[in-house]
Structure 1
Amino acid sequence: MTHTCSHRRGAHWRLTPLLALWSAAGWAAAEAPPPPPPAPLLPPAIQQALQAAGIPAASVSMLVYPVEGGNTRLSLGADVVRSMASVMKLFTTGAALQTLGPAFTWRTQVALGGRLGPDGALEGPLLMRGEGDPSLVVERVNLMMLRWRAAGLRDIRGDWLLDRSAFAAPEHDPAAFDDQPLKPHNAGPDALLLSHQAVTLRLRPDVANPAWARVSMEPELSGVRLDAKVPLDDKAPCGDWREAMGLTLRPDAPPATGWTIALKGRYPRACGERDWPLHWPGTPRQDHTERMLDAAWRQAGGLLQGQVLASGPWPPETPVWFTWESPPLATVVRDINKFSNNVMARQLFLTLGRAPAPDARSPLGPATLDAARAVVTQYVVQSTLDASTGTSPCAGNALVMDNGSGLSRTEAASAACVGRWLQALWASPAMPDLLASLPLAGVDGTARRMGAATGRAHLKTGSLDGVASVAGVALGDSGRRYVVVGVINDPKANAARSALAALVDWTVHDR
Structure 2
Amino acid sequence: MLKGKNKLGLIPINTLLFFVVLCLGTEVFATDKYSNLESKTQQLLKELRRVGIPSSSVGVSVTIIPSTIYPFEPVRYGFNSKKKFNPASTVKLFTSFYALSVLGSSYRFKTDFFIVGKRDLDSFDGDFYLKGRGDPKLVYEDLQEIVYAMRAKGYRKLRGNFIIDDSYFSEPEINAASFDGKKNKPYNVGPNAALVNFKAVELTVAKVKRKINISLKPQLADFTVVNNMRWVRGSCGKNKIFYKEFDGKLKVYGRFGTRCKRQRLYLSLSTHKRFAFGLFKQAWIDSGGQFDQVLIDGVVPKEAELVYSWTSPRSLELLIKDINTLSNNTMARTMFLTLSAGKGSPGTLEKSRRLLSSWFYDLGIGLGDVTIENGSGLSRLTKLTPTHIDTLLYEATFSKEFQVWKKSLALAGKEGTTVNRFRGMDVSGNAWLKTGSLDNVQAYAGYVLTETKRWISFAILVNHRVAERAKLPLDKFIDSLYRDAGPQLLVEGSKQVK
Pairwise TM-score range, normalised by the shorter structure:
0.7 to 0.9
Shift of 1:498: 1.5
Q: Is the 8 A contact 1:65 1:71 kept in 2?
A: yes
Q: Which residue is 2:398 aligned to? A: 427
Q: Which residue is 2:267 aligned to? A: 278
Choose 93-102 or 327-336, whichever is displaced more: 327-336
Query: Is 1:366 aligned to residue 346 of structure 2?
Result: yes
1:443 partner SS: coil
Query: Is 1:301 aligned to residue 297 of structure 2?
Result: no
Q: Is the 8 A contact 2:89 2:437 kept in 1?
A: yes
State the alpha-carbon separation in 1 of the partners of residues 47 and 371 from structure 2: 29
- Map 1:430-445 → 2, pairs under 5 A: 430-445=401-416
Q: Which residue is 2:249 aligned to? A: 260
Q: Which residue is 1:196 aligned to? A: 198
State the alpha-carbon separation in 2 of the partners of residues 296 and 237 from structure 1: 33
Shift of 1:47: 3.2
Q: Which residue is 2:138 aligned to? A: 136
State the alpha-carbon separation in 2 of the partners of residues 502 and 70 from structure 1: 27
Q: Is the 8 A contact 2:49 2:55 kept in 1?
A: no
Q: Is the 8 A contact 1:441 1:449 kept in 2?
A: no
- CA deviations 1:154-197 (Å, max 9, x no partner) are 11122112211111013411111111111111112111111111
Shift of 1:424: 1.0
- Map 1:344-423 → 2, pairs under 5 A: 344-355=331-342, 363-382=343-362, 384=363, 392=364, 394-423=365-394
1:72 to 72, 75, 82: 75
State the alpha-carbon separation in 2 of the partners of residues 436 and 273 from structure 1: 35
State the alpha-carbon separation in 2 of the partners of residues 144 and 261 from structure 1: 28
Partner AA of 1:479 in structure 2:
K
Q: Which residue is 2:221 aligned to? A: 222
Partner AA of 1:277 in structure 2:
Y
Q: Which residue is 2:317 aligned to? A: 330
Query: Is 1:245 aligned to residue 234 of structure 2?
Result: no
Shift of 1:88: 0.4
Shift of 1:456: 0.6
Q: Is the 8 A contact 1:205 1:232 kept in 2?
A: no
Between the two proteins, the alignment pairs up a number of residues equal to 441
Q: Which residue is 1:457 aligned to? A: 431
Distance change >3 Å, CA 308–CA 298, structure 1 → 2: farther
Distance change >3 Å, CA 66–CA 467, structure 1 → 2: same
Partner AA of 1:262 in structure 2:
K
Partner AA of 1:378 in structure 2:
S
Q: Which residue is 2:16 aligned to? A: none
Partner AA of 1:301 in structure 2:
G
Q: Which residue is 2:168 aligned to? A: 166
1:89 partner SS: helix
Shift of 1:459: 0.1
Structure of larger gyration radius: 1
Q: Which residue is 1:56 aligned to? A: 54
Shift of 1:232: 5.4
Choose 396-405 or 267-276, whichever is displaced more: 267-276
Distance change >3 Å, CA 510–CA 42, structure 1 → 2: closer
Partner AA of 1:124 in structure 2:
G
State the alpha-carbon separation in 2 of the partners of residues 354 and 230 from structure 1: 45
2:377 partner SS: coil
2:114 to 111, 115, 118: 111
Unaligned runs of at least 5 residues, structure 2 = 1-33, 67-71, 486-498
State TM-score, norm by structure 2.
0.83
State the alpha-carbon separation in 2 of the partners of residues 300 and 112 from structure 1: 20
1:488 to 447, 456, 462: 462
Partner AA of 1:401 in structure 2:
I
Shift of 1:324: 0.6
- CA deviations 1:462-499 (Å, max 9, x no partner) are 00111100000011111101002111011111111112
Query: Is 1:340 aligned to residue 365 of structure 2?
Result: no
State the alpha-carbon separation in 2 of the partners of residues 286 and 144 from structure 1: 17
Q: Is the 8 A contact 1:61 1:415 kept in 2?
A: yes
Shift of 1:230: 3.9
Partner AA of 1:439 in structure 2:
A
Query: Is 1:92 aligned to residue 95 of structure 2?
Result: yes
- CA deviations 1:91-133 (Å, max 9, x no partner) are 0000000001111122111122124333x11132212211011
- CA deviations 1:373-417 (Å, max 9, x no partner) are 1112222331x2xxxxxxx2x214432111101211111211111
Query: Is 1:470 aligned to residue 444 of structure 2?
Result: yes
Distance change >3 Å, CA 469–CA 161, structure 1 → 2: same
- CA deviations 1:270-306 (Å, max 9, x no partner) are 7654321111144xx9622222222222222222233
Unaligned runs of at least 5 residues, structure 1 = 1-37, 252-258, 356-362, 385-391
- CA deviations 1:294-336 (Å, max 9, x no partner) are 2222222222233122212x22143311001122111111111
Query: Is 1:318 aligned to residue 304 of structure 2?
Result: yes
State TM-score, norm by structure 1.
0.81
Q: Is the 8 A contact 1:203 1:213 kept in 2?
A: yes
Q: Is the 8 A contact 1:484 1:507 kept in 2?
A: no
RMSD: 2.3
State the alpha-carbon separation in 2 of the partners of residues 238 and 225 from structure 1: 27
Q: Is the 8 A contact 2:235 2:260 kept in 1?
A: no
State the alpha-carbon separation in 2 of the partners of residues 125 and 71 from structure 1: 60
Shift of 1:44: 5.9
Choose 500-509 or 197-206, whichever is displaced more: 197-206
State the alpha-carbon separation in 2 of the partners of residues 272 and 49 from structure 1: 43
Q: Is the 8 A contact 2:106 2:316 kept in 1?
A: yes
Partner AA of 1:61 in structure 2:
G
1:311 partner SS: coil
Choose 463-472 or 159-168, whichever is displaced more: 159-168
2:305 partner SS: coil
